[in-house]
Amino acid sequence: MIATAAETVEPAAAPEKELPVRDRAQTQGRIFQAGRALLAEGGFQAFGVNAVARKAGCDKQLIYRYFGGLDGLVDAIGEDLAGWVTQHVPEDQGGRFLLTYGDLMERLAELYADALRADPLMRRILVWELSESSPHIARMADARAKGIAQWIERMRGSLTPPKGADTVALNAVIIAAVQQLVMAAETSGSFAGLPLKSQKDWGRAVSAVARMARAAYA
Amino acid sequence: MIATAAETVEPAAAPEKELPVRDRAQTQGRIFQAGRALLAEGGFQAFGVNAVARKAGCDKQLIYRYFGGLDGLVDAIGEDLAGWVTQHVPEDQGGRFLLTYGDLMERLAELYADALRADPLMRRILVWELSESSPHIARMADARAKGIAQWIERMRGSLTPPKGADTVALNAVIIAAVQQLVMAAETSGSFAGLPLKSQKDWGRAVSAVARMARAAYA
DNA sequence: CGGCCTATTCACCAGCGGGTGACTTTACCC
DNA sequence: GGGTAAAGTCACCCGCTGGTGAATAGGCCG
């Protein structure tokens, strides 16, 4: 059999099968990334010791050794995501001026939607949170809630909501709507008759949320 | 060993283990109900041929025979739920007068939230819809969307939304918020800092949604 | 009684999941 | 060089899952 270009063996390095690197930190990192990727791609259903090990290209035993099992791995991923809101929802106001508290929440809804739409992993975790309740998951949700509260506090400046407005409840409703729409978009591409595929669809959705936010805080 | 009261055998009937009824319709019904119950209690994760058979107290083979497998059972449950909105979201206006389109949507939000909060099965299915996309699930979501649209159409009377309002998008946002809050309430008991346990908490949430609905359609 | 149809169960398979103990291989250090 | 500890792999075990083909048990009818 004549060796084709693809079959020729590289003279210096033979990258055909990455043999074990024997570097704990790196292997640990590969397991971690495999876990993240698996979670992002298939959700918590596709998440298991065997699957992670397969994807990381190492023995599952290492997951137990380095992370103390799946729970530990989840914890690690969760901790890594603790500052997600701060890292993914920008605080500069991109040239827009926020004149009212309603404008502020409108902007938050828009930025939050963008951030979620761009992050499959976080979307999967949102779904996970609804499917079961475990300490890890609860912690992640808490961290997100705190992050959002901080965002508002930092961006608020001197803006204040109108008297008598239940900001906690109103903001929760806004965030809830955004999350639900983003999640539904992924799996079904629409929600309650509203298509959620194209960028244009999203424009529609976001401006509806924006309208409600502005109106509620008027 | 002296027989205790619990161990004594009933003279007439021995209900200790309900022996097979040999009634296809009834067995079919038991499987159906077992499926519903399992789904309602543990969500789609707890849903499997073996689990259903165990709960129904019969052999799993019967699930294949009578429903053509799990998919068929899901279909049956789904079909049964096709008219859910119509059946669970009342159309009488309970003494209240709906003066504006905003009032109408406010009322829908309230009734829809109540209906969902009272129905564990439907809540689980909502979560399921976000977790994976399959034909069955898509059909259920469609049916619900249609049901809601019908509700609005029937209750609307002569009420009309203000010109320029994107009703489809605005209504989707309202429904989305309600759904997300109900689901989050079940698993974590709160959402984005808003507690969702007591009836009072729900009053807060619902009036926030209501305020937004009214304001958006003002 | 015998025969038949049907509801129901049984026994079994292959596959995959989590989990663990013992083994091999490599690097490093004296 | 030898030795030791860490990195990595292997070979299992167990329990459960989905799925199937054959056997059984009970009612009904002639």
For B26-70, the pLDDT digits (tens) are 999 999 999 999 999 999 999 999 999 999 999 999 999 999 999
Residue spans of chain A under pLDDT 70: 1-20, 93-95
Q: What is the number of CB-based contacts under 8 A between chain A and chain B?
A: 154
Residue B13 pLDDT > 60: no
Residue B10 pLDDT > 80: no
Residue B195 pLDDT > 60: yes
CA distances from B158 to A128, B43, B103, B155, B215 (A): 42, 41, 13, 9, 19
* Contact of B129 with B141, CB cutoff 8 Å: yes
Which of A144, A177, A218 has the CB atom closest to B176's CB atom? A177
Q: How far is A193 from chain B (nearest CA, A)?
A: 6
* Contact of B60 with B53, CB cutoff 8 Å: yes
- Please report the pLDDT score of residue B98 as a whole number: 87
- Please report the pLDDT score of residue A55 as a whole number: 98
- Please report the pLDDT score of residue B18 as a whole number: 53
- Please report the pLDDT score of residue A94 as a whole number: 63
* Contact of A141 with A122, CB cutoff 8 Å: no
Is B47 strand, coil or helix?
Answer: coil
Residue B17 pLDDT > 80: no
C-alpha B137/C-alpha B145 separation (Å) is 12
- Please report the pLDDT score of residue A96 as a whole number: 72
Q: Strand D positions with any atom < 7 Å from protein CB?
A: 6-11, 16-22, 26-27
C-alpha B66/C-alpha B75 separation (Å) is 12
pLDDT band at B19 (very low <50, low <70, confident <90, very high): low
Residue B152 pLDDT > 80: yes
- B70-119 pLDDT, tens digit per residue, is 999 999 999 999 999 999 999 986 667 889 999 999 999 999 999 999 99
The partner residues of B195 in beta bridges, in order of sequence, read: B190
R_g of chain B, CA atoms, integer Å: 22
Which of B187, B209, B216 has the CB atom closest to A129's CB atom? B187
Instruction: Classify A57 in phi/psi space as left (phi over 0), alpha (psi -120 to 50) or beta.
Output: left
Contacts of B184 in chain A (CB under 8 A): 129-130, 176
Question: Mean pLDDT in chain B?
Answer: 91
- A17-64 pLDDT, tens digit per residue, is 456 679 999 999 999 999 999 999 999 999 999 999 999 999 999 999
Which nucleotide has its C1' atom closest to residue B20's CA?
C8
Contacts of A166 in chain B (CB under 8 A): 204, 207-208
Give the mean pLDDT of B188-195.
97
Is A6 strand, coil or helix?
Answer: coil
Contacts of A181 in chain B (CB under 8 A): 172-173, 176
- Please report the pLDDT score of residue B97 as a whole number: 81
Residue B2 pLDDT > 60: no
Q: Which residue has the higher pLDDT, A20 or B18?
A: A20
Which of B132, B148, B166 has the CB atom closest to A192's CB atom? B148
CATH class of B24-78: mainly alpha
- B197-217 pLDDT, tens digit per residue, is 999 999 999 999 999 999 999
The CATH H-level (homologous superfamily) assignment of domain A24-73 is Homeodomain-like (1.10.10.60)
Residues 6+ apart with CB under 8 A from A113: A178, A181, A182, A202, A205, A206, A209
Which of the residues B45, B130, B167 would you substitute to probe the A interface, choosing the one with the greatest number of A C-beta atoms within 10 Å? B130
C-alpha B218/C-alpha B212 separation (Å) is 10
Domain boundary assignment for chain B: 24-78, 84-216
Instruction: Classify A2 in phi/psi space as left (phi over 0), alpha (psi -120 to 50) or beta.
Output: beta
Q: Strand C positions with any atom < 7 Å from protein CB?
A: 6-11, 16-22, 26-27
CA A74 to chain centre: 14
- Please report the pLDDT score of residue A19 as a whole number: 60
Which of A144, A169, A208 has the CB atom closest to B208's CB atom? A169
Residues with CB under 7 A from strand C: A 22, 47-51, 60-61, 64, 69-70; B 20-24, 26-27, 57-59, 61-62, 65
pLDDT band at B6 (very low <50, low <70, confident <90, very high): very low
Q: How far is B36 from chain A (nearest CA, A)?
A: 17
